[in-house]
A = this chain, B = another copy of it.
Amino acid sequence: MAERDGARPRVTLKQVSELAGVSQSTVSRILNRRHSAVPIAAATRERVLRVIEELDYRPHPLARGLRGGGTALLGLIVREVADPFFAAAIEAIADESRRHGYSLVLGHARSSAREALVLAEVLETRHCDGAILLGDLRDEPRLWAELEGSELAVVAVCQGGRAPGIPTVDCDNRVGTVMALQHLHGLGHRRIAFLDAGWLGDVEERRLAYHAFMAERGLPVLEGYHQRLPGNHPDAGLSAFRALLELSSPPSAVFCATDQVALGVLAAAARAGLRVPADVSVVGFDDIPMARFAVPGLTTVRQPLRRMARLAVERLLGLIRSGAAPRSGPARRERLRPSLVVRGSTAAPGGGAGGAASRG
């Protein structure tokens, strides 16, 4: 009755060694067989392994980490955990990490000086063996400062802008945008509007690509055709589409920087009594799970998420294994090719009563 009731006090390496009648070093060696420039007697190993089994012994990760063995923990810093695209990315990264024996520590990066600090603490220490930056975090100066000074292994995913000295994995937003616009253009659309999704991340590249495409083809970007949204949310897409309808010459197609925005546009169109795609075509970007189930199904550009996750994790583990991150000079940037997914939200213009312009 002396000890806390039901407290199974944890099996230690020492106990294993004693019960097996060997030294701790021996047990440790058997556990980490990779370091075996040292041979071990088969009989000894046998015996030790049996004891380990019997006692259901598990190495203490903290102790291990403290001594320099790594923590099997990867930090994942995300701005918006609940965003459908990022949620899917988190899932993919978590799966991929686990395939390699790592768990994720979630750093939710909602802007705020104090929070960024906490986050940095999680990172900077040896708590995590490495970290993945998911999404655009350029507006987190403390984070970058912290990263700069540390030798932590870091990889960025969907970072949008370049991260100094940090290997990056993202999809080729320019190519994706061109795919979307070519699709619309091919259907006969000329009046194509663009809704961005705030200033963050990949959105910027898509915006640039839109303007480049329109200029190249000599398509007009009328006043108001490029709507600036306050953030990446259906709400924003909804309002922006309304603004589009107020224009003297509304577009016949809308290219949205993200699916989230596009879903808002679909909602707005429905509420305005417009039919998609008869009255107006809509294209998104990302191919979030919901895109398939929108009404109508959303034509969009798919990011190869699993492959991106795999690549990011592999790069990160590579960095970890190879010692530290030589955070200097331009780092490798991996750009995966997206693909166009055509669903029901796009069609040739004029299928309805003359496009969105016919409204009112």
User: Using a CB–CB distance below 8 Å, which chain A residues touch chain B?
Assistant: 4-8, 58, 60-63, 65-66, 71, 73, 76, 80-84, 87-88, 90-91, 94-95, 98, 101, 103-108, 110, 115, 118, 121-122, 124-127, 149-151, 234-235, 238, 263-264, 266-267, 270, 289-290, 292-297, 323-324, 326-328
20 contacts between A and B (CB under 8 A): A6-B324, A58-B121, A60-B66, A62-B65, A62-B66, A66-B66, A71-B127, A81-B90, A81-B91, A82-B87, A84-B87, A91-B108, A95-B110, A103-B105, A103-B107, A104-B105, A105-B105, A238-B293, A267-B295, A295-B295
Q: CB within 8 A of A234: which of B94, B122, B290?
A: B290
Q: CB within 8 A of A73: which of B105, B108, B149, B324?
A: B105
Whether A84 lies near B81 (C-beta < 8 A) is no
Q: A4-B324, A81-B94, A270-B296 are in contact. Are A290 and B289 (CB under 8 A)?
A: no
- CB neighbours (8 Å) of A294 from chain B are 267, 295
Rounded to whole angstroms, the CA-CA distance of A95 and B80 in the bound complex is 11
- CB neighbours (8 Å) of A4 from chain B are 151, 323-324
Whether B106 lies near A8 (C-beta < 8 A) is no
Rounded to whole angstroms, the CA-CA distance of A82 and B90 in the bound complex is 8
Starting from the known contacts A235-B293, A267-B295, 17 additional A-B residue pairs (CB-CB under 8 Å) come to A5-B326, A6-B151, A58-B121, A61-B121, A61-B127, A62-B66, A76-B106, A81-B91, A82-B289, A91-B108, A103-B122, A105-B105, A234-B292, A267-B293, A267-B297, A270-B296, A290-B290
State how many angstroms separate the Cβ of A24 from the closest Cβ of chain B: 16
- The residue in chain B whose Cβ has the minimal distance to the Cβ of A83 is B87
Q: CB within 8 A of A98: which of B63, B83, B108?
A: B108
- The residue in chain B whose Cβ has the minimal distance to the Cβ of A106 is B104
Rounded to whole angstroms, the CA-CA distance of A270 and B343 in the bound complex is 14
Whether B292 lies near A7 (C-beta < 8 A) is no
Whether A125 lies near B58 (C-beta < 8 A) is yes
Whether B324 lies near A295 (C-beta < 8 A) is no
- CB neighbours (8 Å) of A83 from chain B are 87
State how many angstroms separate the Cβ of A335 from the closest Cβ of chain B: 24
Whether A151 lies near B66 (C-beta < 8 A) is no
Whether A71 lies near B81 (C-beta < 8 A) is no
- CB neighbours (8 Å) of A328 from chain B are 6
Closest CB pairs A-B (n = 5): A87-B87, A234-B293, A270-B295, A82-B91, A94-B108
Q: CB within 8 A of A61: which of B108, B125, B289?
A: B125
Whether A95 lies near B108 (C-beta < 8 A) is yes
Whether B126 lies near A98 (C-beta < 8 A) is no
State how many angstroms separate the Cβ of A340 from the closest Cβ of chain B: 21
Rounded to whole angstroms, the CA-CA distance of A61 and B125 in the bound complex is 7
Rounded to whole angstroms, the CA-CA distance of A66 and B69 in the bound complex is 14
